[in-house]
Amino acid sequence: KDSYDITLLPGDGIGPEIMSATTGVLLALSKRCNFELRTTEALIGGAAIDAVGDPFPDESLRQCLSSDSVLLSCIGGYKWDANPRHLRPESGLLKMRKSMGLFANLRPARVLSQLVDASTLKREIVEGVDIMVVRELTGDVYFGTPKGIDVIDGKRVGYNNMIYGEGEIERIARVAGDVASKRSGKLCSVDKANVLDVSQLWRDVVTEIMSSEFKDVELSHMYVDNAAMQLIRYPKQFDTIVTGNIFGDILSDEASMLVGSLGMLPSASIGDGLGPGVFEPCHGSAPDIAGTDKANPLALILSAAMMLRYDLDRDAEATILERSVEAVLDMKLRTADIKQEGDGCRLVGCIEMGKAVADIV
Amino acid sequence: KDSYDITLLPGDGIGPEIMSATTGVLLALSKRCNFELRTTEALIGGAAIDAVGDPFPDESLRQCLSSDSVLLSCIGGYKWDANPRHLRPESGLLKMRKSMGLFANLRPARVLSQLVDASTLKREIVEGVDIMVVRELTGDVYFGTPKGIDVIDGKRVGYNNMIYGEGEIERIARVAGDVASKRSGKLCSVDKANVLDVSQLWRDVVTEIMSSEFKDVELSHMYVDNAAMQLIRYPKQFDTIVTGNIFGDILSDEASMLVGSLGMLPSASIGDGLGPGVFEPCHGSAPDIAGTDKANPLALILSAAMMLRYDLDRDAEATILERSVEAVLDMKLRTADIKQEGDGCRLVGCIEMGKAVADIV
Ligand SMILES: CC(C)[C@H](C(=O)O)[C@@H](O)C(=O)O
Ligand SMILES: CC(C)[C@H](C(=O)O)[C@@H](O)C(=O)O
The CATH number that applies at residue B81 is 3.40.718.10
> Which residue, of B259, B287, B321, is where some domain finishes?
B259
Q: Do residue B242 and residue B281 come from a single domain? A: no
Chain-chain contact of B141 with A157 (C-beta, under 8 angstroms): no
Residues of B in contact with A97 (CB under 8 A): none
Tell me what pLDDT residue A47 has: 97
> Residues A222-265: pLDDT tens digits?
999 999 999 999 999 999 999 999 999 999 999 999 988 888 99
Given CB atoms, is B163 within the 8 Å cutoff of chain A?
A: yes
Residues of B in contact with A253 (CB under 8 A): 225-226, 228-229
User: Chain B: nearest CA to A141, how far in angstroms?
Assistant: 8
Q: Distance between CA atoms of A252 and A281, rounded to whole angstroms? A: 12
Q: Do residue B139 and residue B220 come from a single domain? A: yes
Tell me what pLDDT residue B356 has: 98
What CA–CA distances, in Å, run from B153 to A14, A166, A167, B156?
47, 12, 12, 8
Largest Cα–Cα separation, chain B: 68
Q: Do residue B91 and residue B129 come from a single domain? A: no
Q: Do residue B305 and residue B331 come from a single domain? A: yes
> Residues A130-165: pLDDT tens digits?
999 999 999 999 999 999 999 999 999 999 999 999
Q: Do residue B144 and residue B252 come from a single domain? A: yes
- What is the position in ligand 2's atom list of the atom closest to the CA of B249? 11
pLDDT at A316 over 90: yes
Tell me what pLDDT residue B360 has: 97
The number of the ligand nearest the C-alpha atom of B133 reads 2
Q: Do residue A37 and residue A59 come from a single domain? A: yes
Q: Distance between CA atoms of B150 and B169, rounded to whole angstroms? A: 30
Q: What contacts B206, CB < 8 A, 6 or more positions away?
A: B169, B173, B176, B189, B219, B221, B242
Residue numbers of the domain that contains B157 = 120-259
Q: Which helix (H) or strand (E) holds A243?
A: strand A240-243
**Does the residue A311 lie in any domain?**
yes
Q: Is B225 a catalytic residue?
A: yes
Q: How many CB atoms lie within 10 A of CB B284?
A: 16
Q: What is the mean pLDDT of chain A?
A: 97
Q: Are A138 and A98 in contact (CB under 8 A)?
A: yes
Predicted structure pTM score:
0.96
Residues of A in contact with B224 (CB under 8 A): 249-250
Chain-chain contact of B194 with A90 (C-beta, under 8 angstroms): yes
Q: Distance between CA atoms of A292 and B297, rounded to whole angstroms? A: 54
User: Chain B: nearest CA to A136, how far in angstroms?
Assistant: 15
Q: Distance between CA atoms of A128 and A181, rounded to whole angstroms? A: 19
Chain A interface disruption, residue of B143, B151, B157, most A CBs within 10 A? B157
Residues of B in contact with A141 (CB under 8 A): 141, 162, 196
Tell me what pLDDT residue B273 has: 86
Q: Is B81 a catalytic residue?
A: no
Residue whose CA lies nearest to ligand 1 atom number 7: A249
| Percentage of residues in chain A having pLDDT higher than 70 | 100
Tell me what pLDDT residue A272 has: 92
Residue whose CA lies nearest to ligand 1 atom number 3: A90
Q: Distance between CA atoms of B337 and B262, rounded to whole angstroms? A: 9
Given CB atoms, is B84 within the 8 Å cutoff of chain A?
A: no
Given CB atoms, is B87 within the 8 Å cutoff of chain A?
A: no
Given CB atoms, is A162 within the 8 Å cutoff of chain B?
A: yes
**Does the residue A350 lie in any domain?**
yes
What CA–CA distances, in Å, run from A7 to A64, A189, A307?
6, 33, 12
Chain-chain contact of A254 with B257 (C-beta, under 8 angstroms): no
Chain-chain contact of B256 with A120 (C-beta, under 8 angstroms): no
| Percentage of residues in chain A having pLDDT higher than 90 | 96
> Which residue, of B259, B289, B319, is where some domain finishes?
B259
Residues of B in contact with A251 (CB under 8 A): 228
Residue whose CA lies nearest to ligand 1 atom number 5: A249
Q: Distance between CA atoms of A276 and A56, rounded to whole angstroms? A: 16
**Does the residue A1 lie in any domain?**
yes
Q: How far is the CA of B249 from the centre of ligand 2 (A)?
A: 7
**Does the residue B244 lie in any domain?**
yes
**Does the residue A154 lie in any domain?**
yes
Tell me what pLDDT residue A273 has: 87
The number of the ligand nearest the C-alpha atom of B227 reads 1
Tally the domains of chain A. 2
Exactly one of B130, B178, B239, B253 is catalytic; which is it? B253
Residue whose CA lies nearest to ligand 1 atom number 4: A90
Q: Do residue A283 and residue A348 come from a single domain? A: yes
**Residue ranges for chain B with pLDDT beneath 50:** none
**Residue A73: closest CA among A294, A231, A280:** A280
Given CB atoms, is B86 within the 8 Å cutoff of chain A?
A: no
Determine the average pLDDT of the residues in A166-174: 98
Q: Distance between CA atoms of A181 and A218, rounded to whole angstroms? A: 9
**Does the residue A114 lie in any domain?**
no
Chain-chain contact of B258 with A122 (C-beta, under 8 angstroms): no
Name the B residues in 250-309 with CB < 8 Å from any A CB.
Answer: 250-254, 256-258, 262
Residues of A in contact with B201 (CB under 8 A): 149, 156-158
Alpha carbon B30 to its chain centroid, in Å, reads 23
Q: Do residue B137 and residue B169 come from a single domain? A: yes
Given CB atoms, is A196 within the 8 Å cutoff of chain B?
A: yes
Q: Do residue A136 and residue A251 come from a single domain? A: yes
Largest Cα–Cα separation, chain A: 68
> Which residue, of A241, A259, A277, is where some domain finishes?
A259
Q: Distance between CA atoms of B184 and A338, rounded to whole angstroms? A: 32
Q: Distance between CA atoms of B138 and B249, rounded to whole angstroms? A: 12
Overall size of chain B counted in residues: 361
**Does the residue B114 lie in any domain?**
no
Given CB atoms, is A150 within the 8 Å cutoff of chain B?
A: no
Determine the average pLDDT of the residues in A337-342: 91
Q: Do residue A101 and residue A221 come from a single domain? A: no
- Strands (E) in chain B, as ranges, are 3-11, 36-41, 69-74, 104-110, 130-136, 147-152, 155-165, 186-191, 218-223, 240-243, 266-270, 278-281, 333-334, 346-347
What CA–CA distances, in Å, run from B239 to A45, B167, B187?
33, 25, 7
A358 within ligand 1 shell (Cβ under 6 A): no
List for chain A the helix, strand, coil content (%; round to 5).
50, 25, 30
Chain-chain contact of B164 with A162 (C-beta, under 8 angstroms): no
**Does the residue A110 lie in any domain?**
no
Torsion sign across C-alpha atoms B279, B281, B286, B291 = negative
Q: Do residue A88 and residue A206 come from a single domain? A: no
Q: Distance between CA atoms of B46 and A173, rounded to whole angstroms? A: 32
Q: Do residue B130 and residue B238 come from a single domain? A: yes
Chain-chain contact of A161 with B156 (C-beta, under 8 angstroms): no
User: Chain B: nearest CA to A244, how far in angstroms?
Assistant: 13
Q: Which residue among B95, B136, B249, B280 is best mutated to probe the pocket of ligand 2, counting the most ligand atoms within 8 A of its Cβ? A: B249
More confident site: A355 or B260: A355
Tell me what pLDDT residue A262 has: 86
Alpha carbon A144 to its chain centroid, in Å, reads 22
Tell me what pLDDT residue B1 has: 86
Given CB atoms, is A87 within the 8 Å cutoff of chain B?
A: no
What CA–CA distances, in Å, run from A61 to A69, A85, A89?
12, 19, 15
pLDDT-derived band at A93 (thresholds 50, 70, 90) equals very high
Side-chain-facing half-sphere of B360: CA atoms under 13 Å: 18
Tell me what pLDDT residue A198 has: 98
Residues of B in contact with A166 (CB under 8 A): 155-157
User: Chain A: nearest CA to B42, how far in angstroms?
Assistant: 23
